[in-house]
Every structure is written in C-alpha cells, then in structure tokens.
C-alpha cells in the first residue's frame, strides 16, 4: 500500500536546560503520523505532501523528511515563502506555544489542482486533517476537498482527523462546515471526543460518530484521552478500553501516533479492534515522554 499524508510540518524551537538555549526540531500533526507510521511499517511507500520555500530552513526540513525514510518528491516549492515556526516556552512548568505560520509555504499546498491530483492518483491511501484544511484559503480548501472526493470515487481510501483548532480558522462556523465537508469526502474519520464535544456539542462519542456517518464517512473511531474508544465500521461497532497510565508527561502527538497505528492496521489488513489496541499501546508510550516525535 502506498500512503500519502497531506499537511503542514513546522520548525519547532524547544527550550533547553540552559536559559535562552533552544533546540531546532520539526513537527506537525500530519507529519508526526507518517513519522510514527514509518517506524511501524519500515517497508511501505510513505510520501508527505506539503509546501516548502527555497531557503535554508526549508532545505533542512526536506532533508529531515527524506532522512526519516519519507518520500519528499510531492513537496510543492513556493518561492518567496518559508516554513511555519513554533516556539515552546515554559510557564510555571507548563508548555506554552507561540506560532508563526501566517506566511507558511504549506498554506499554498493546494494551489495547483493538477499537481495535487497527480499525487493522490499515485497513492492508495490519503491522510489529511482539519489543520490541513484550516491553513488553506477558501479556494485551497475547495480544491483539496474536490481532489480527495475524486480520489475516493476512484477507489482510494481517504482518512481524516478533524483535529479542531479554532485559532486557525476565520470563525468557528466555517471550521464546523469545512470539517463536516472533510468528513464527507472521507472513508474513515478519527476524531478526539474532547474537542468534538466543545465545538460540535456532541453529548457522547456515539453522537460524534453518528454526525460523521451522516456527513458521509463509513468508519469512525472516537479517541477520548484515557477513556474508552468507541468505533463504528461496516464490519461492526465496539468499545475498547485504554490502558491506565499513571504518569502522563506530555500528550503532544498522542492522537497523531494513535492514527499511525490505524493506518498501519489498514496496510496490514488487521481488524479494527486490533489496530485500536495497537494505537493505545503506541500513544500510551508517547504520552509518557516529552515532545511530538518519541522513539518508543
Ligand atoms: P486523544 O486524542 O487525546 O483523545 O488521545 C489519543 C489517544 O492517546 C487515546 O485514545 C489514548 O489511547 C492515548 N491517551 C491520551 N491521553 C491519555 C491518558 N491520559 N492516559 C492514557 N492514554 C492516553
């Protein structure tokens, strides 16, 4: 199976022990998922579709993508732009995030429908998120959704994590509408209940599931932090409990790593229940360490 992930990877500056020292890394939801997927499935083709500039940091990001065994050939080069950046500050021991992504090259990733469609054509499974949609302008969103719909019609498997981030959107009504349209072009939706309850007022994970099935998805797996995971698919539905973790250190990328296990299960044709159990195991390790990309 050839897997394509579409979205934004950013430069990350994280504070070190010495005050004023920062480490430069790279992370971003759709990238984190393929980074974990590469570790689960060393032998499959995994490509990352994003936007990059022509400057040194963009080249460094491209090299990092390649060094991690992820195909970078679908990264669109946007002259005059660069990659987005976020800085982690520690405030009373809590991590605080500042973002610079307004001019990020990834915002133009859907500017050429032909390039986008070719990338989708050349893969079997396409993964994207609400962050991918949120960073685009209205035309970019339409272009991406149309290309994904065409891919789905052609038999590709489309997988979507709504990853609701209201700060990325012009208003919450647009976030809800476009997220619903995202689920509508997708086979599989992987929401996190905590966010869905806030922004869609779902009463419970079954409510979230029903809403995304009505939008057009066929399978929904609702993550819910330490609480049981509810799933519904044409093969059946069920609830799977999450192993208890006594020392949660940092939940960054918990959902992204969980999603990687689901994609890996689709590649290996394991049952949904088995993939969810594997997702709990992986994300359970990820929350016990600091940072988005945890070697487990
Ligand atoms: P979330 O997107 O926050 O719902 O988390 C995704 C997955 O990470 C969950 O389905 C769990 O498998 C795991 N996870 C997140 N938070 C915790 C926690 N506090 N304890 C155990 N597992 C967790």
Distance 258 CA to ligand 1 centre (A): 8
pLDDT, tens digit, 9 for 90 and up, residues 84-117: 999 999 887 778 899 999 989 999 999 999 999 9
Q: Look at strands 157-161 and 125-129 and give their pairing.
A: parallel
- pTM, two decimals, is 0.97
Q: If you write DSSP's letter for every residue of 164-219 in order, what string do you get?
A: --GGGSS-HHHHHHHHHHHHHT-SEE--BHHHHHHHH--SSHHHHHHHHHHHT-SE
CA gap 44, 140 in Å, rounded: 29
Spatial separation of the C-alpha atoms in residues 271 and 277, rounded to whole Å:
10
Q: Residue 119: which H helix or E strand, with range? A: helix 113-121
Q: Which atom of ligand 1 is nearest to the CA of 224?
A: 4
Residues with CB under 6 A from ligand 1: 192, 223-226, 229, 242, 245, 248, 251, 254-255, 258, 280, 283-284, 287
Task: Check residue 25 and give left, alpha or beta (phi > 0: left; psi -120 to 50: alpha).
Answer: beta
- Determine the distance separating the centroid of ligand 1 and the alpha carbon of 39, expressed in angstroms: 19
CATH topology of domain 2-286: 3.40.1190
Helix (H, G, I), strand (E, B) or coil at 246: coil
The question of whether 250 is a catalytic residue gets the answer no
Condensed to tens digits (0 to 9), the pLDDT of residues 197-221 reads 999 999 999 999 999 999 999 999 9
Does residue 64 contact residue 23 with C-beta atoms inside 8 Å? no
Region 228-233: mean pLDDT is: 98
pLDDT digits 0-9 by tens, 39-71 = 999 999 999 999 999 999 999 999 999 999 999
- Separation of CA 292 and ligand 1 centre (Å): 14
In this prediction, residue 168 has a pLDDT band, given cuts at 50, 70 and 90, of very high
> Which residue's CA lies nearest to atom 15 of ligand 1?
225
Q: Which of 164, 221, 223, 225 to mutate to test the pocket of ligand 1 (most atoms within 8 A of CB)?
A: 225
Q: Which of 72, 161, 202, 256 is catalytic?
A: 256
| Mean pLDDT over the full length of the chain | 96
Mean pLDDT of 163-169: 96
pLDDT score, position 296: 83
Q: What is the mean pLDDT of residues 134-157?
A: 98
């Amino acid at each position: 199976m050839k897997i394509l992930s579409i979205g934004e990877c950013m430069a990350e500056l994280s504070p070190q022990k010495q005050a004023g020292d920062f480490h430069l890394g790279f992370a971003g939801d759709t990238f984190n998922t393929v980074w974990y997927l590469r570790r689960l499935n060393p032998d499959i083709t995994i490509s990352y579709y994003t936007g990059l500039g022509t400057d040194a940091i963009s080249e460094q990001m491209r090299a990092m993508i390649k060094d991690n065994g992820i195909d970078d050939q679908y990264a669109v080069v946007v002259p005059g732009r660069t990659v987005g950046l976020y800085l982690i500050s520690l405030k009373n021991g809590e991590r605080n995030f500042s973002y610079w992504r307004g001019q990020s090259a990834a915002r133009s990733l859907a500017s050429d429908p032909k390039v986008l469609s070719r990338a989708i054509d050349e893969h079997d499974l396409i993964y994207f998120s609400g962050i991918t949609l949120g960073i685009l302008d209205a035309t970019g969103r339409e272009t991406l959704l149309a290309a994904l719909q065409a891919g789905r019609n052609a038999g590709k498997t489309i997988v979507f994590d709504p990853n609701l981030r209201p700060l990325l959107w012009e208003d919450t009504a647009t976030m809800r509408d476009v997220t619903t349209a995202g689920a509508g072009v997708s086979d599989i939706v992987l929401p996190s209940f905590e966010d869905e309850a806030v922004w869609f007022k779902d009463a419970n994970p079954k409510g979230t599931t029903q809403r995304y099935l009505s939008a057009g998805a066929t399978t929904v797996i609702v993550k819910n932090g330490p609480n049981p995971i509810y799933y519904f698919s044409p093969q059946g539905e069920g609830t799977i409990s999450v192993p208890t973790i006594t020392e949660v250190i940092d939940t960054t990328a918990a959902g992204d790593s969980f999603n990687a296990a689901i994609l890996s299960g689709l590649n290996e044709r394991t049952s949904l229940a088995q993939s969810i159990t594997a997702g709990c195991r992986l994300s359970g390790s990820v929350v016990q360490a600091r940072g988005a990309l945890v070697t487990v």
